[in-house]
Structure 1
Amino acid sequence: MLNKLIVLAALLLPACFANAHEYKTGELEIAHPWSQELPPNAQTVAAYFLITNKGKTADRLLSVDSPIAGAAELHEHVMQNDMMKMQQVPSVEIPAGGTVTFAPMAYHVMLLELKDRSLLSDGKRFALTMHFEKSADVTVEVAVQKSAPDAMQAHMHTP
């Protein structure tokens, strides 16, 4: 069921982000990096986006970093013993000709040890640098929003 939801989100997101900001490095396209506005007491924030590989060979997202955080980790949600659990992953494969969705309840970037909370309110943007195995590093601007994009709202509330 979770895989179907992730596929649905991947199919819906491109239409939702038709006018959104996009970035390219090598054969990879990164679409609409976003994060949800933080409540005042939050200790971490997550960043989301789509990575599409237009190439004929797989690539791999090895790590990320941001000037607003002391640490950044790649995470995924997995089902273990009938419970959804978040866990850190060492890297994320971007298959040739495929799209990987970074979204709530899927892969995402966790930013820890937050330094500049002023950039985490609605309408602001912050930098996030992605480091790939084959493609060059790329720095994107993550748009902070009060709530998830419409396609994400449907994904987040589907049982």
Structure 2
Amino acid sequence: MFIRLLSLTAAVAVLATPAWAADYKLGSLEIDQPWTRATPPTAKAGGGFVTITNKGTTPDRLIAVRSAASDKVEIHEMKMDGNVMRMRELDKGVEIPPGATVALKPGGYHIMFMELKAPFAKDAKVPVTLVFEKAGSIDVAMAVQGMGAAAPDQPKH
């Protein structure tokens, strides 16, 4: 009886566990964990983050991002220049090499929302369209984490 109950409990746990699949899929691209941070009421800008994996055999490139949440959206890079942190727009976007995963994350490549139309509120979703050179466009929803979040809340295993 105990073994049967243990087996049933294990089966329920497996069925209740979220799938570890991509959040979004576009051709050979897998788009995981699109997220952003909550912004203060007077903020004019915010950052967006996402992980993109190219399961294909040819490179692709994230060339643009659009969102109704702000007047302007750009793909940026932050990097150290000596002791100074510099941020710049990437005119040609970000390459996603075949077989590689590229993370747009705090302190590196990221999406820059400028002239926000309203603050990003914790637990809301920000609609975004990611535009790729070869794969085309896909609409995703960025989950808004708390101000200063380092990454989205991860499921516990």
For the aligned pair, the TM-score class normalised by the smaller chain equals 0.7 to 0.9
The Cα RMSD (Å) is 2.1
Q: Give the SS at the match of 2:56.
A: coil
How much does 1:149 deviate? 2.7
Amino acid in the other structure paired with 2:130:
M
Shift of residue 25 of structure 1? 0.5
The equivalent of 1:92 in structure 2 is 94
- Cα distance in 2 for partners of 1:41, 1:134 equals 37
Number of the residue aligned with 2:50: 49
CA contact (8 A) 1:20 1:32 kept: no
| 1:110–1:35 Cα change, 3 Å | same
The aligned residue for residue 140 of structure 2 is 140
TM-score (norm 1): 0.78
- What SS is found at the alignment partner of 1:141? strand
How far residue 81 of structure 1 moved from its aligned partner, in angstroms, is 2.8
**Residues 126 and 19 from structure 1, CA distance in 2 versus in 1: closer, same or farther, beyond 3 angstroms?**
farther
Deviations 1:23-44, CA, capped at 9 Å, x for gaps: 1111001101001111122110
> Structure 1 stretches of 5 or more lacking a match?
1-16, 153-159
| Residue 99 to residue 123, structure 1, CA distance change in 2 (3 Å) | same
Return structure 1 stretches of 4+ with deviation > 4 angstroms: 17-21
Q: In the alignment, which residue of structure 2 is the partner of 1:12?
A: none
Corresponding residue for 1:40? 41
- Look up the equivalent residue of 1:31 and give its one-letter code: D
Three-state SS of the structure 1 residue aligned to 2:85 is: strand
2:136 aligned counterpart, secondary structure:
coil
2:122 match: 122
Post-superposition offset of 1:18: 6.9
Residue correspondences, number: 134
Percent identity over the alignment is 40
Q: Which moved more, 1:75-84 or 1:136-145?
A: 75-84
Bigger CA radius of gyration: 2
User: Which one-letter code corresponds to 1:97 in the other structure?
Assistant: G
1:136 Cα deviation from its structure 2 partner: 2.0
Distance between the aligned counterparts of 2:137 and 2:153, measured in 1? 28
Which residue pairs with 2:106 in the alignment? 104
Superposed CA offset, 1:45-101 (max 9, x none): 100010000001100011001011110000001221332211110111000000111
TM-score (norm 2): 0.79
Distance in structure 2 (CA, Å) of the matches to 1:116 and 1:41:
9
Task: Quote the Cα distance in structure 2 between the aligned partners of 1:21 and 1:86.
Answer: 29
Asked if the contact 1:61/1:132 (under 8 Å) is kept, the reply is yes
Q: Point out the structure with the larger helix share.
A: 1
